[in-house]
Amino acid sequence: MIFSSQHLLFSSLLLTGTIMSISSTSWFMAWMGLELNLMSFVPLITSKTNQYPSEAALKYFLVQALGSALIILSAPLMMDMDIFSPMLLMALLLKLGAAPFHSWFPSIMEGLNWPQCILLMTIQKIAPIFLISHLVTQTSIPEFVTFSSILSALVGSLGGLNQTSLRKILAFSSINHLSWMLIAMLLSDYSWLIYFFFYSIISASIVIFFNLQQYFFFSQLFSNPLTSFTKSFMSSFALLSLGGLPPFSGFIPKWIIIEAMAYNHMFLPLLVLIFSALITLYYYLRIAVLSLLLMTTKTKLLSPFPAQFFASYLTPSFLFFNMFGLLVPSFFLFF
């Protein structure tokens, strides 16, 4: 069962560990929160009937255990010498799945189901990224964060070009979006919080849609004859919004960060981030345009508008949020 008592227990422990990490006043309490988060997430992704989630759970446990060992090693040493701050940053980047410690993230995403992918892409990133935001004031940490951000932008954009699995495409997309959040930490806390909020909502809308349709590979988007034009229209808008194409909602946080980076004269990282965003937008456009072209047939256009579109509460809500950037200027006409 999806909402069994065990799932509710481990989900509540997952949120408790995340809240403990982001609200702790010491690295020991933060480490305890990360451990509680890890030990509650592993049972949520294991399965007795499928070996792939169990294999992904074992990989995730080993990677996160290595990151926790580095945290418990470097945190006490930081009390005497600040030279161990990069080691602590390296452990948090490993837990986060940012480059150059990203290789585990796509392989684990490939072995999970869609609901578990939502947790890995959103909730599991909250605690490490909050802890990294506390480290950016340390000496030499901004340089390492900038390097990881540039590398994550390149890896996330180039890694998704030759992928046919939708889960791996979203995994490399998540790595690319991490680059924007890491560079936003150097600007202000509000910048990366706004970006993370938009990224979580848009990613969740895409994953929920793929889960409802049971899409896992690129070819399934076009081979299903029952896919309506409305569903194809909604998924295309969500992908374009995730890619940051203006004037969709996904462009709003990118616009804020681009303006802040230009104001702080961070032109070289900004050039790399914009270049990587264009590459990620390419394989989003490849999915969206082909989907719309194949579904826009005469029979589809003449068919009645599907009633289940209005029956679902999730579909119009996500469609509205992804198109929210289009509707913002119209609100000023009422004032």
- Whether 97 maps to a domain, the answer reads yes
For residue 175, being part of any structural domain is answered with: yes
pTM, full prediction: 0.88
- Asked if the structure places residue 23 within a domain, the reply is yes
Task: Say if 335 falls within a structural domain.
Answer: no
**CA angle at residue 150 from 70 to 147, to 5 degrees?**
45
CA geometry: angle 122, 126, 130, nearest 5 deg: 150
Domain that holds residue 184: 5-328
Residue 334 lies in a domain: no
Counted domains in the chain: 1
Query: What b/e string do you get for 50-63 counting C-beta neighbours within 10 Å, with b at 16 or more?
Result: eeebbebbeebbeb
Cα three-residue angle 168-323-113, rounded to 5 degrees = 25
Question: pLDDT tens, position by position, for the chain (335 residues)?
Answer: 455 778 889 999 999 999 999 998 888 899 999 999 999 999 999 877 778 888 999 999 999 999 999 998 887 777 766 677 888 999 999 999 998 999 999 999 999 999 999 999 999 999 999 999 988 888 788 999 999 999 999 999 999 888 889 999 999 999 999 999 999 999 988 899 999 999 999 898 889 888 888 888 877 776 665 556 666 777 778 888 888 888 788 888 999 999 999 999 999 999 999 999 999 998 888 877 776 666 554 444 444 444 444 335 555 566 667 766 656 654 444 44
Domain contains 173: yes
**Tokens 């961070």 -> residue:** 266
In a domain, 235, yes or no: yes
CA angle, residues 273, 292, 223, in degrees to nearest 5: 105
Query: How many of the other CB atoms lie within 10 Å of CB of 251?
Result: 19
197: left (phi over 0), alpha (psi -120 to 50) or beta: alpha
Q: 333 in a domain, yes or no?
A: no
The radius of gyration of the chain's CA atoms, rounded to the nearest angstrom, is 20
